[in-house]
Every structure is written in structure tokens, then in C-alpha cells.
Structure 1
Amino acid sequence: MRGLTLLITTGDRERFRAALTLACSQAALGGRTRLYCHEGAVAVLLPGDDPEDATLRATGLPTRAALLEMAAAEGVALIACQTGLALAGIAQSALPEGTETGGMISLIADLGDDRLVTF
């Protein structure tokens, strides 16, 4: 199975939930999966509740935080843009355990035969 690299370009939490769902699905099928949050998108990796969490829970859907936990459990590589962290003043220690930092050049250099999807 070809790998899947997801490039997250915005802090839109609904789009990020869709990307996480896709990442978890790919990983559950046994494919290499990487999720890279570029610049302003790094904030969606921060732990915490979102305004829509109560609605999601009431309908039986996972929250962003729950999806992040699932992604980690499935082996999805979470990568935060180093530039984005610096711009937002976010320390790597504030991110979920196991989150890597990197840049666009290293992401593309290691793309190999992965499919690249942008959110």
C-alpha cells in the first residue's frame, strides 16, 4: 500500500478533523501515514476542548482531541512546522507526545511514493 502524507494548511478545525479521520483510516489499513501542519495550522495540534465538542459527543462522534489520540495509537506521524511553531510562539513541549518537528523540504525529501493530499 502506498503511503499517505497529509499537508494541513489552515487552522480550520473542521477540515483538520476530516484530515485526521482520513489519516486514521489509512493507518488502520496498514499504510504509512504522516500529517504535517504547516505554519498557522500548528495550533490545531494543541490539546484542549473545542466549542463543538459537546455536539460531537452528543452525536457519538469523536472530538479533535479524541481523533488525535486515535491517530497516535494507529501510528500516524504528526509533524509540526518549525517555522509555524516559532511564528505562534508554541513550544514543542506543548504539543502531543511524539509530535515531531520539521520543514517542507524534509517533508518533500521523504515523500517517496506517498500520495500527497492538501487540506
Structure 2
Amino acid sequence: MPGLSIIIASADGEHFYAALETAAAAAALGRAARIFLQGPAAALLRTPVAFAGDAARRGAGQPDLVSLIAEAMAMDVKLTVCQSGMALIGMTANELVPQARSGGLVSFMAEMGDTDRLVVY
């Protein structure tokens, strides 16, 4: 079954939230799912994690961003944060959420399977 690889190309919490939902849905269907946060999107996984839409999500009975990250991780969604992006925003690996790893776009692309789907948010 083809996997799903997602690249988040901007520091937009709504896009990241949508990508997490998409990856979790793919994982629920038995597909491998990975997300790469490129460039300034690295800031989305700087602790403490939060975004402006959290209160509205909780008010609607939906998980906030940090809860959705935990749910996705429990489903084996892999999170990789761009090393260059971290340098760009002055972030260190010690500031990453524990579930994420740092890496580069080349290694992320190299790990894609031949039949994997690639989505960019």
C-alpha cells in the first residue's frame, strides 16, 4: 500500500493541523505517513507547541495542536523538522517536541517509496 509523505512549507498552524489530520487518516487506513516541516515551518514544533486556532478547536470539541500531534504519533506518523529551517529561525534540537527528529529534505525524499504520494501544504 502506498505511503503518504507531506511537506509543510510555511509556518501556518492551520496547514500543519490539516496535514496532521491527513497523515492520521492515512495511518488509520494502514498506510505509512510522514510529515516534513521545511524552512520556517520548523517553528511549529518548537516547545511549547500551540497555535492561534487551539481555543476554537477545543471549543468545537476537537483536539488542540499538541493533542493532535500526540494522537498522530500514537498512530506512528513520523515528524521530521528541517535542519536548515531550524538554523534559519534560531532553533536548536533541544527545543523540538520529543516526538520529532531533525533531518534534511534530501534524506526525507530518499526515504520515500516509489509508490508513495507526496502532498505539499
TM range (shorter): over 0.9
Map 1:44-55; keep pairs closer than 5 Å: 44-46=44-46, 47-55=48-56
Which residue of structure 2 aligns with residue 17 of structure 1? 17
Map 1:79-98; keep pairs closer than 5 Å: 79-98=80-99
How far has the Cα of 1:51 moved from its partner?
2.8
Whether the 8 Å contact between 2:13 and 2:53 is mirrored in structure 1 is no
SS of equivalent residue, structure 1 residue 35: strand
Which of 107, 114, 117 is the equivalent residue of 1:115? 117
Unmatched 5+ stretches in structure 2: none
Q: Structure 1: how far apart are the matches of 2:101 and 2:26?
A: 19
CA RMSD of aligned residues (A): 1.2
Whether the 8 Å contact between 2:5 and 2:112 is mirrored in structure 1 is yes
Which residue of structure 1 aligns with residue 5 of structure 2? 5
- Structure 1 segments, 4+ long, off by >2 Å, are 46-52
How far has the Cα of 1:19 moved from its partner?
0.4
Q: TM-score with structure 1 length normalisation?
A: 0.93
Please, which moves more after superposition, 106-115 or 71-80? 106-115
The count of corresponding residues between Structure 1 and Structure 2 is 119
Whether the 8 Å contact between 2:8 and 2:41 is mirrored in structure 1 is yes
Q: Structure 2: how far apart are the matches of 1:51 and 1:84?
A: 21
Unmatched 5+ stretches in structure 1: none
